């Protein structure tokens, strides 16, 4: 908030852009990028190829202070999206909680038209501690619960339609 003096000399607070929040996001993205326990996929699980929209490129862009790119085949086309601090902090906290995991998608890929992925609020994971996500994975439920504990309000995985092989963690809009 900025303090502005009105014509009468009274002070009032006005909202302004928060460049510090963008710096915090870039710093967090750098920590994610450099963390050996977070594997950022450099391709798309669908087999379609668009190097600017992979999870690895999305984090690299955020670490450089840039917006991340969606995929051309997505429901929103190619769009530049800011990765939110809440989502990035959640991802990093999952690692500091002891999980090693592979992120397949952040804003790239193809999701439902109103997906939180397209708002920089979600990531998908298909491996936890070196093992593929499935209903028989010993840690998938604990991983999902930890995402919720870190603020994710949309957490889908095995047992949810279309999520038998991955976990989707998304923060509120």
Report how many domains make up the chain.
Answer: 1
Is 141 domain-assigned?
Answer: yes
Strands (E) located in the chain: 2-5, 11-14, 38-40, 68-69, 80-81, 101-105, 122-128, 131-132, 154-156, 167-170
The whole-model pTM stands at 0.84
152 lies in which domain range?
Answer: 19-170
Is 7 domain-assigned?
Answer: no
Is 38 domain-assigned?
Answer: yes
Question: pLDDT of 23-66, one tens digit each?
Answer: 678 999 999 999 999 999 987 677 666 667 899 999 999 999 99
Question: pLDDT of 120-156, one tens digit each?
Answer: 999 999 999 999 999 999 999 999 999 999 999 999 9
- At 107, which CATH number? 3.30.1380
Task: Quote the pLDDT of residue 22.
Answer: 60
Is 117 domain-assigned?
Answer: yes
Is 57 domain-assigned?
Answer: yes
Is 6 domain-assigned?
Answer: no
Is 27 domain-assigned?
Answer: yes
């Amino acid at each position: 908030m900025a303090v502005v003096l009105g014509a009468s000399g009274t002070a009032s607070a006005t909202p302004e852009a928060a460049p510090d929040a963008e710096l915090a996001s870039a710093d967090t993205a750098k920590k994610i990028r450099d963390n050996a326990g977070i594997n950022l996929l450099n391709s798309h699980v669908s087999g379609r190829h668009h190097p600017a929209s992979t999870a690895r490129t999305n984090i690299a862009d955020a670490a450089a202070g840039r917006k991340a790119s969606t995929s051309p085949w997505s429901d929103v086309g190619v769009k530049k999206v800011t990765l939110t601090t809440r989502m990035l902090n959640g991802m990093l906290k999952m690692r500091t909680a002891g999980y090693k995991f592979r992120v397949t998608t952040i804003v790239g890929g193809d999701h439902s038209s109103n997906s939180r992925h397209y708002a920089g609020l979600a990531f998908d994971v298909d491996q936890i501690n070196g093992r593929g996500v499935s209903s028989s994975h010993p840690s998938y439920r604990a991983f999902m619960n930890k995402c919720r504990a870190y603020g994710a309000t949309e957490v889908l995985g095995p047992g949810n339609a279309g999520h038998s092989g991955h976990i989707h963690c998304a923060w509120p809009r």
